[in-house]
Amino acid sequence: MMLYLLLATLLSLSYSFNIPASNLIETSNIIKSKQFEKSNFDVTEIKKFFKNDDNYNPTYSVGIIGATGAVGQEIINCLHNTKFPVSELNLYTSKKSSNKIITTPFGRHYTKEFNIDDAKECNFLFLAVSGDFSKKNAIELCEKGAFVIDNSSAFRYDENVPLVIPEINKHKIKGKRLIANPNCTTAIALMALFPIFKLFGLTKVIMSTYQAASGAGNKGIIELEESIKDKNYKNEIFTYPLAFNVIPHIDKFQDNKYTKEEMKVSWEIQKILGVPDLPVSCTAVRIPTIRAHSEAITVETEKPIDYNLLKTEFDSFSGLKVVDNPEKNIYPMPLTASESYDVEVGRVRPSLIFGDFGLDMFVCGDQLLRGAALNAVLIAKSITEEI
């Protein structure tokens, strides 16, 4: 009976993770070598056996829900550029956008209307849709074992759902099927904040953000471009015309007079760093750039800052690029950060307010990549490393 169970499990693993069937020839050798005692049969050990095999090269069925949107399109590109092992790509859309051929780095694919039963068969699902959709479907999508990575705010503040930036807290993923992707502004800020937090601790974070039109999706980009081109300063997406303007208002105002976007930054930094009482204040401003968010950040630290040590940490931190040479007018900008996988940090200088225990810096990152698609794909890659 145990032999049948063993064979069935091996076949299941081969099917689920696309392990070459030829590897199953080794099954008899495993049994003969008594690698698995009949009384203590462990699937984890079988996985380890395959992982140690030179031919172990699993691939995964991937679904993207919201595949034709700005973030969905970038997820497809990031899967390809990071060499994520995709065996099957499912592009889920609304009924209106379904049954259309789109060209991807993986070839030409038909979009298809979202069907929850079909989607549940995927190994990985990326949700690039509204929070309402995620609240309705995300948990059910996990039922058959799919890993669901949600780009909306639906589960970010749920204590049972990890909010993850892999370079910072990928250990939170272990044992979870539903993982939340942070707000774009938070993700960009934390790439520079975490090395400071790690070395010197943080007691206060004060920031102002300058957020591109694409933060409001493709419609935001179109509205800005058409307004500039036609000099017709309309506003349907933004509260006021964005062309040649800045708007200190993103998302809804809350009872405390901060906007929800600003509070997201505060809540999410606290959760990801694991410091729920860390004071974080943010002012979020929409500006007339197409892509990449910028952030002016001031921090107070627990320990005095050693800038040589910080420079070394910045240089070695994956996903962060030091762009800081004021003498040559080199500093972070949307122009250089757009379409880059790295977040730029520069203008690093001691704070005139907090002295040795604080600094000011300027950070810029592509919010469609580090702030959304890239971070989601890196979460998925972190999961594959644990399978």
Among candidate residues 149, 153, 163, the one with its CA nearest the CA of residue 131: 153
Among candidate residues 275, 265, 263, the one with its CA nearest the CA of residue 302: 275
Identify whether residues 216 and 253 lie together within a single domain: yes
Q: Is 364 a catalytic residue?
A: no
Identify whether residues 261 and 176 lie together within a single domain: no
Q: Is 171 a catalytic residue?
A: no
Identify whether residues 152 and 299 lie together within a single domain: no
Identify whether residues 254 and 327 lie together within a single domain: yes
Q: Which domain holds residue 86?
A: 60-182+373-386
Instruction: Indicate which residue of 78, 122, 282, 293 is catalytic.
Output: 293
Higher pLDDT, 229 or 356: 356
Model confidence at 218, in pLDDT bands (50, 70, 90)? confident
Structure confidence at residue 8 (pLDDT): 52
What is the residue-averaged pLDDT of the chain? 89
Question: pLDDT by residue (tens digit) across 65-109?
Answer: 999 998 999 999 999 999 999 999 999 999 999 999 999 999 999
State how many domains the chain has. 3
Instruction: Indicate which residue of 122, 184, 282, 364 is catalytic.
Output: 184
Mean pLDDT of 119-126: 97
pTM score: 0.86
Percent of the chain, pLDDT > 70? 86
Identify whether residues 382 and 262 lie together within a single domain: no
Structure confidence at residue 14 (pLDDT): 53
Question: pLDDT by residue (tens digit) across 346-380?
Answer: 999 999 999 999 999 999 999 999 999 999 999 99
Q: Is 281 helix (H, G, I), strand (E, B) or coil?
A: strand
Enumerate residues 6+ apart whose C-beta is below 8 A from 326: 347
Identify whether residues 285 and 235 lie together within a single domain: yes
Identify whether residues 195 and 160 lie together within a single domain: no
Question: pLDDT by residue (tens digit) across 31-53?
Answer: 444 444 444 444 455 455 555 66
